[in-house]
Structure 1
């Protein structure tokens, strides 16, 4: 198996350092997954740009984490599941709802359930969702624009989840309590 370096600001390729600095400011540390993604300036810069764009969207913090956690579970990226479980709990998502998503079940909260379900349907159907899928999502109060915004969340997740599955970084200490195995 290929080994990927967990870069620091000093060891990262020059074209990756600005993205890592931005993540350090936003998250408070450079997560190991991002540090491995820095091996490719194209990937880390694309990720940070998409990350910032998605986080500036209309979903609130808990909703973003429900979407990202659902994606991490669907993509079986253990690092991202631990990270987004930690962030979801920090954002106030009920621990039972976090546990449900981690176990591939729907949360009890109706909006979270609709968001998690629609996210999984988009992944499973590769975007070929039906009107019934969209209606189930918008029927709990999400807008038509948010149907498309879920795709932005998927794009961010795919970059991180696939990179995590390839680079297999060590889990950072702040996320160890949420360790997950597929």
Structure 2
């Protein structure tokens, strides 16, 4: 069992208390992952800040979820996969799209598949994406700005997925229907 505490507004370091309380008020509950991240007020504030910025980038809501779920499945974060499956479900995304994202397989939509492949290339090549892969991404109708927005999403969800794995963040009960486990290797 990892040595991390799932904090509340009463037990969190002082610098994290207002942030935790704001999350609790906004969501109506405090997700365990937020309570765990609160051990480092800077990590919690940093993640929530960049997540808010990522939500305003030029990628649309479903496109952002493609990036997030690609990072989450690659980093094997059961919590992020479940949480963002729930998000796509609320957005009425096609079940085939959700299933392919969870499985890490080609998407049924060519443009979103180009985005998924580009996100994988950013991860695999640590940003040094080969020219042919960048060209394929741009040929799918994306702009150079979108490529940088993918990098923003990869960075944002690298924070979240790695923190969740390090702390052993559990799946909150409302997400149980979206539970996910990585495929056996």
TM bucket, shorter chain: over 0.9
Structure 2: gaps (5+ residues): none
Aligned: 1:96 with 2:99: no
Could you state the TM-score of these two structures normalised by the residue count of structure 1?
0.93
For residues 147-173 of structure 1, the C-alpha deviation after alignment (integer angstroms, 9 at most, x for no partner) is 011111011101110011111122112
Aligned: 1:171 with 2:171: yes
| Partner Cα separation in structure 1 for residue 147 and residue 22 of structure 2 | 28
Aligned: 1:81 with 2:86: no
| Partner Cα separation in structure 2 for residue 162 and residue 94 of structure 1 | 28
* Superposed displacement of residue 28, structure 1: 4.6
* Superposed displacement of residue 25, structure 1: 5.2
| Partner Cα separation in structure 2 for residue 71 and residue 84 of structure 1 | 11
Structure 1: gaps (5+ residues): none
For residues 54-108 of structure 1, the C-alpha deviation after alignment (integer angstroms, 9 at most, x for no partner) is 1111111111111101100010111111111111221232111111111110210
1:158 maps to: 158
| Partner Cα separation in structure 2 for residue 153 and residue 67 of structure 1 | 6
Contact 1:66–1:88 under 8 Å retained in 2: no
Moved over 3 A (4+): 21-29
Aligned positions of 1:1-182 closer than 5 A: 1-24=1-24, 27-182=27-182
| Partner Cα separation in structure 2 for residue 30 and residue 145 of structure 1 | 34
* CA distance 1:25–1:117, shift in 2 (3 Å): farther
Contact 2:58–2:145 under 8 Å retained in 1: no
Could you state the TM-score of these two structures normalised by the residue count of structure 2?
0.91
Root-mean-square deviation (CA), in Å? 1.5
* Superposed displacement of residue 18, structure 1: 3.0
* CA distance 1:23–1:131, shift in 2 (3 Å): farther
Contact 1:19–1:48 under 8 Å retained in 2: no
| Partner Cα separation in structure 2 for residue 11 and residue 32 of structure 1 | 13
